[in-house]
């Protein structure tokens, strides 16, 4: 029987630790970390994500600023907001929630964010620093996964890790982090994707599998070996007449049957998801302390 990696519980523990740090800063009369979040448009999922981020700031004692703009906001207007936040000494870090409306070029906005305030870790400057093992703001989801492996004391060194999916926000950065000369790290990593041949031959020899494809219940029991560690990043909506909302959330892993073979597994929901907000808070605290780019 597998051990369940409780992302929700771990995220709460880390939040409590951050709250203690914030209290110390407050007692010493230092600057309180301040995160700003920019939300453009009415995307329902984005509203929930941003609300969660702002609520988490309140929980740990951070200052937070929420900037809401309607869907008609132009790219120029958004670039102006980014420039203002870049220059505002009060703001330690900020995020522009993706996806943006189609008339706004996401890449242009990401590049306009000062890497010193890029607490989402999406700017190529932070991505490059991460790849070279320099201090950097790590992207939220991979950072959360590394925290999970670390806190659950899961041995990564020398292990065969298979990452499914090569997105810029999950698959590619987690493959870099797992192979870095660090702790956790030093794994032998295979990055698999839609053009990978005989995917099962890779997953069958994996000690650790990170599933980030966005295909509901893709990874099945016949694809994994006994004792595997499973990190399920997928968040997929699947129609379900019996569910109140008409759908349920499922990961990229067929949970019950894979759990029966796994030594550790993350549930969906309550696994990787809650850890991403925690990463954002940790990056903001680092920024406030000047731990990545100096004061
Ligand atoms: P994406 O949707 O941008 O890309 C999917 C990747 O999967 C691609 O690299 C593609 O090559 C690969 N892929 C597709 N079909 C494949 C196949 N049959 N075999 C092997 N590889 C295949 O990826 P993403 O943005 O990283 O999202 C992946 C999933 O993770 C989604 O369900 C998303 O909702 C979820 N997600 C969760 C969190 C979180 O906080 N838990 C954060 C980000 C994304």
Domain carrying residue 182: 140-272
177 within domain boundaries: yes
> Is 177's pLDDT higher than 70?
yes
Instruction: Indicate whether 94 belongs to any domain.
Output: yes
pLDDT digits (tens, 9 = 90+) for 49-107: 999 999 999 999 999 999 999 999 999 999 999 999 999 999 999 999 999 999 999 99
- Domain identity same for 42 and 105: yes
Question: Of 114, 131, 157, which marks where a domain is finished?
Answer: 114
Q: Does residue 144 fall inside a structural domain?
A: yes
Asked whether the predicted pLDDT for residue 1 surpasses 70, the reply is no
Q: Are residues 172 and 228 in the same domain?
A: yes
Q: Is 146 in the pocket of ligand 1 (CB under 6 A)?
A: no
Cα 139 from Cα 174, distance rounded (Å) = 9
pLDDT in tens, 189-233: 999 999 999 999 999 999 999 999 999 999 999 999 999 999 999
Is 47 known to be catalytic? no
CA of 16 to the centre of ligand 1 (A): 30
Average pLDDT, the chain: 97
Same domain, 157 and 39: no
User: Is position 53 annotated as part of the catalytic site?
Assistant: yes
Measure the CA–CA gap between 209 and 128, rounded to whole angstroms: 24
Quick: pLDDT tens for 137-155: 999 999 999 999 999 999 9
In a domain, 211, yes or no: yes
Task: Give the pLDDT confidence score for residue 45 in this predicted structure.
Answer: 87
Please give the distance, rounded to the nearest whole angstrom, from the Cα atom of residue 236 to the centre of ligand 1.
10
235 lines ligand 1 (CB under 6 A): yes
One domain for residues 176 and 244: yes
153 & 243 share domain: yes
DSSP per-residue string spanning 179-204: HSSSSS---EEEEE-TT-SSHHHHHH
Q: What is the pLDDT of residues 12-28, one digit of tens each?
A: 999 999 999 999 999 99
- DSSP H helices in 118-261: 124-131, 140-151, 171-179, 199-204, 255-259
Q: Is residue 198 one of the residues assigned to a domain?
A: yes
Residues 245 and 151 grouped into a single domain: yes
Nearest to 38 by CA among 59, 75, 65, 72: 65
Q: Are residues 260 and 218 in the same domain?
A: yes
Rounded distance between C-alpha atoms, residue 241 and residue 247, angstroms? 7
Domain count of the chain? 2
CATH code, domain with 99: 3.40.50.10860
State whether 98 and 215 are in the same domain: no
Distance CA 169, CA 26 (A): 33
pTM comes to 0.96
Catalytic residue, chosen from 92, 118, 120, 252, is 120
Is 62 a domain residue? yes
Instruction: Clarify whether residues 88 and 144 are in a common domain.
Output: no
Question: Given this model, what pLDDT does residue 279 score?
Answer: 97
Ligand 1 pocket residue status of 56, Cβ below 6 Å: no
Specify if 172 maps to a domain: yes
- Give yes or no: residues 88 and 146 share one domain: no
Q: Which atom of ligand 1 is nearest to the CA of 169?
A: 26
Same domain, 55 and 171: no
Residue 16 lies in a domain: no
């Amino acid at each position: 029987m597998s051990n369940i990696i409780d992302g929700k519980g771990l995220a709460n523990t880390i939040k409590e630790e951050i709250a203690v740090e914030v209290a110390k800063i407050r007692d010493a009369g230092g600057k309180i970390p301040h995160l700003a979040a920019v939300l453009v448009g009415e995307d329902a999922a984005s509203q929930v994500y941003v609300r969660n981020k702002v609520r988490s700031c309140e929980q740990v004692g951070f200052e937070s600023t929420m900037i809401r703009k309607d869907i008609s906001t132009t790219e120029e207007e958004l670039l102006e907001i980014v420039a203002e936040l870049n220059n505002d000494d009060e703001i330690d870090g900020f995020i522009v929630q993706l996806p943006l409306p189609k008339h706004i070029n996401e890449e242009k906005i990401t590049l306009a964010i000062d890497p010193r305030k890029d607490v989402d870790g999406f700017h190529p400057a932070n991505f490059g620093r991460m790849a070279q093992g320099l201090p950097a703001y790590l992207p939220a989801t991979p950072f959360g996964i590394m925290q999970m492996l670390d806190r659950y004391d899961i041995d990564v060194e020398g292990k065969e890790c298979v990452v499914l999916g090569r997105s810029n926000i999950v698959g590619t950065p987690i493959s870099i982090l797992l192979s870095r000369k660090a702790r956790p790290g030093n794994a032998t990593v295979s990055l698999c994707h839609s053009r990978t041949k005989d995917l099962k031959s890779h997953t069958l020899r994996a000690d650790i599998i990170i599933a980030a494809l966005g295909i509901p219940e893709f990874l099945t029991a016949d694809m994994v070996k006994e004792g595997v560690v499973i990190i399920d990043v997928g968040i997929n909506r699947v129609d379900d007449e019996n569910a109140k909302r008409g759908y349920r959330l499922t990961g990229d892993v067929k949970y019950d049957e894979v759990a029966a073979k796994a030594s550790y597994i993350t549930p969906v929901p309550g696994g990787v998801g809650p850890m991403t907000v925690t990463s954002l808070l940790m990056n903001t605290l680092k920024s406030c302390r000047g731990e990545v780019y100096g004061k």
